[in-house]
């Protein structure tokens, strides 16, 4: 009986201790406090168990015990009852030492957790230390020491920019923890180093074969790798390096573009589209023809009828979407939109200042200004988009031809005495004059699209070719080439797009068309042949890429030739 009562008392006391322990854990809410309380409770339980079993555990024994497992001892039922007290803790693992040892262990764990949290916050704020070390490694210094590539374009304002580095995306470009601002150029350098470190130059793109046998004055004579190291020669256009022998070079006749009514063969205007092989043919009828020139069929794609206008001049706008058609004796002209097939009559009271005539229309390369000759000694300058007259220039003599400079800032007017005037349209003043050498009566003026050459044709058939830069500075420039193969008045002068060829023609005699090779300073020999059908050529034109050259003669046919090398 006494033994059973002791067992009941021990069980009741153990249950009471469990409740106290649970209340203590829930009340404190801290793992460390619960562990300390548990250690104190276990010490009290040890004393109770020692009193029941009569075999106390040795004091100060630093031993790891796992609660929930029974000890292998044969001390009887009292020892088993005492060991059953450990089952009430659910098999939790604790290191039983003195209370001071438990406190030290908990303090060490708390310090470790705090250090881990501080390391994590420092990494998120200042970036990874390994990345910083990698940027400051010798390998990164070698990448930085490489010769810098020259930029194609430099923005001076970027050097004055200051960038904020507080954002998360720019945290990795920091070089110091307390660096919050950096200049724009320095930020570019750091980002470039980051990219080159992540994406280095591949092995196949690194030049390892030494270049040998290169002569500065001759072609490359090195290893086969030298020939395929660059594609510059393959990407070059054939016409950029075309070599012309004036004795052997001849345009090739391919086909006829079309035939126009013979009764109106006394005048014709030929012009190619600025960006396509579309030929415009205008003559003294209220009709303009458009042909698709391909060298074989040359199909007529459109016939434009302009009511009440007998066309004597027509030009494409630089965009190629519009056509301007003029008549010499009318103070108005037609504006035709090719896309909508709509013709608009353009007139203004200011046109009366030109004495009721709009002749020799000349557009700038940008299409901003339009110059026209008046009936007497006046030249009008129009704002092309609005068709409004902005200025009227008065000359000493009637102009025989007009041409714009390639930049559209200067207008050149040529009179019959061979004197040319250079007008600055920004101030509407004559800033320079020059005289054609020889003093012959001038008839035509031509300026190359690249601004390299200027040509003047005369009534005696002489054609002088000048450097355009000299004509803008010298009063009596010397021609770089003079052609005297024609004996009648020059009626047409045309440069091709790269100024390698100049077509000169006189419509007064047969077989008076000449093709001048300007760089070689010579006329193409044996062309055109007498049996080629050119006869009296009225007008000629080059396509925008100089692939085709067309002529209209008084036979009524428009003939098409192919330019070799283009």
Length of the chain: 566
For the four alpha carbons of 135, 141, 146 and 147, in that order, the dihedral sign comes to positive
Q: Is residue 373 scored above 80 in pLDDT? A: yes
Residue 196 lies in a domain: no
Distance CA 428, CA 45 (A): 115
Pairwise CA distance, residues 505 & 488, whole Å:
9
Domain boundary among 91, 113, 135: 113
Euclidean distance between CA atoms 233 and 48, whole angstroms: 102
Angle at 345 between CA 342 and CA 348, to 5 degrees: 150
| Angstrom distance (rounded) from CA 327 to CA 360 | 10
Distance (Å, rounded) from C-alpha 455 to C-alpha 518? 11
- Identify the pLDDT of residue 166: 74
Among 87, 113, 139, give the residue marking a domain's end. 113
Task: Kindly list the distances between the CA atom of residue 188 and the CA atoms of 124, 161, 177, 196, 503, in Å, as whole numbers in the listed order.
Answer: 23, 11, 19, 12, 54
Q: 96-117: b or e for each residue (b if 16 or more CB lie within 10 Å)? A: bbeeeebeeebeeeeeeeeeee
Indicate which CATH number applies to the domain containing 292.
Answer: 2.130.10.10
In a domain, 127, yes or no: no
State how many domains the chain has: 2
Q: Between the ranges 229-233, 445-449, 484-488, where is the mean pLDDT highest?
A: 445-449
pLDDT for position 133? 44
Q: What does the pLDDT read at residue 40?
A: 61
Domain range holding 46? 2-113
Boundary-marking domain end, from 62, 78, 113: 113
381 in a domain, yes or no?
A: yes
Whole-number pLDDT of residue 399: 94
In a domain, 510, yes or no: yes
- 464 close to 484: Cβ distance less than 8 angstroms: no
pLDDT tens, residue by residue, 174-231? 777 777 787 777 888 888 888 888 888 877 777 655 544 444 444 444 445 554 555 4
Please tell me the distance from the alpha carbon of residue 121 to that of residue 313, in angstroms, as a whole number: 80
> In sequence order, which ranges of 127-221 are alpha helices (DSSP H)?
129-135, 138-144, 184-198
- Does position 114 have pLDDT exceeding 80, yes or no? no
- Whole-structure pTM over 0.75, yes or no? no
| ∠ CA 76-68-5, rounded to 5° | 45
pLDDT band at 159 (very low <50, low <70, confident <90, very high): low
Residue 83 CA: distances (Å) to CA of 1, 57, 78: 21, 13, 9
Enter the tokens of residue 56. 């106390």
Is 209 inside any structural domain? no
**421 is a domain residue:** yes
pLDDT tens digits for 406-422? 999 999 999 999 999 99
Assign 225 to helix, strand or coil.
helix
Any domain includes 511: yes
| Inside any domain, residue 230 | no
CA angle, 10 then 13 then 18, to 5° = 125
């Amino acid at each position: 009986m006494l033994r059973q009562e002791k067992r009941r008392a021990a069980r009741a006391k153990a249950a009471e201790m469990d409740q106290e322990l649970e209340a203590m854990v829930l009340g404190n809410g801290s793992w460390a406090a619960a562990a300390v309380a548990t250690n104190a409770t276990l010490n009290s339980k040890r004393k109770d168990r020692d009193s029941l079993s009569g075999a106390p555990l040795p004091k100060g024994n630093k031993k790891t015990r796992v609660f929930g497992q029974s000890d292998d001892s044969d001390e009887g039922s009292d020892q088993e009852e005492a060991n059953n007290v450990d089952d009430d803790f659910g098999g939790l693992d604790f290191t039983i030492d003195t209370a001071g040892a438990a406190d030290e262990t908990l303090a060490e764990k708390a310090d470790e957790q705090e250090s881990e949290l501080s390391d994590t916050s420092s990494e998120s704020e200042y970036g990874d230390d390994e990345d910083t070390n990698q940027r400051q490694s010798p390998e990164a210094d070698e990448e930085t020491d490489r010769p810098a590539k020259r930029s194609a374009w430099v923005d001076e304002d970027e050097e004055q920019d200051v960038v904020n580095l507080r954002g998360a995306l720019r945290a990795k470009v920091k070089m110091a923890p307390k660096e919050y601002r950096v200049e724009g150029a320095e930020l570019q350098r750091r980002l470039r180093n980051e990219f080159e470190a992540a994406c280095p130059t591949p092995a196949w793109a690194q030049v390892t074969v030494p270049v040998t046998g290169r002569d500065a004055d001759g072609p490359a004579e090195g290893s086969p790798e030298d020939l395929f190291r660059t594609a510059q020669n393959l990407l070059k256009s054939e016409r950029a390096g075309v070599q012309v022998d004036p004795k052997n070079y001849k345009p090739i006749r391919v086909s006829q573009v079309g035939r126009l009514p013979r009764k109106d063969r006394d005048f014709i205007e030929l012009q190619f589209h600025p960006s396509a092989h579309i030929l415009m043919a205008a003559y003294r009828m209220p009709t303009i023809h458009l042909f698709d020139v391909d060298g074989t069929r040359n199909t007529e794609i459109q016939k434009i009828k302009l009511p009440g206008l007998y066309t004597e001049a027509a030009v494409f706008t630089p965009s190629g979407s519009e056509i301007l058609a003029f008549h010499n004796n009318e103070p108005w002209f037609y504006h035709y939109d090719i896309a909508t097939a709509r013709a608009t009559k353009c007139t203004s009271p200011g046109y009366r200042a030109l004495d009721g005539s709009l002749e020799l229309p000349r557009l700038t390369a940008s299409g901003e200004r339009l110059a026209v000759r008046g009936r007497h000694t006046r030249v009008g300058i129009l704002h092309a988009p609005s068709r409004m007259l902005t200025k009227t220039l008065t000359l000493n003599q009637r102009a025989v031809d007009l041409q714009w400079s390639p930049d559209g800032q200067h207008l050149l007017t040529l009179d019959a005495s061979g004197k040319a005037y250079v007008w600055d349209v920004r101030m509407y003043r004559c800033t320079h004059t020059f005289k054609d050498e020889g003093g012959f009566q001038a008839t035509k003026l031509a300026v190359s699209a690249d601004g390299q050459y200027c040509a003047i044709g005369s009534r005696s058939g002489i054609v002088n070719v000048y450097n355009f830069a000299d004509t803008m500075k010298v009063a009596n420039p010397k021609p770089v080439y003079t052609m005297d193969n024609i004996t009648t008045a020059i009626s047409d002068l045309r440069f091709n797009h790269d100024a390698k060829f100049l077509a000169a023609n006189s419509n007064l005699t047969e077989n008076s068309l000449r093709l001048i090779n300007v760089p070689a300073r010579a006329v193409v020999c044996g062309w055109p042949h007498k049996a080629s059908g050119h006869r009296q050529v009225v007008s000629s034109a080059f396509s925008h890429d100089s692939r085709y050259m067309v002529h209209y003669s008084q036979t009524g046919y428009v003939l098409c030739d192919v330019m070799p090398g283009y």
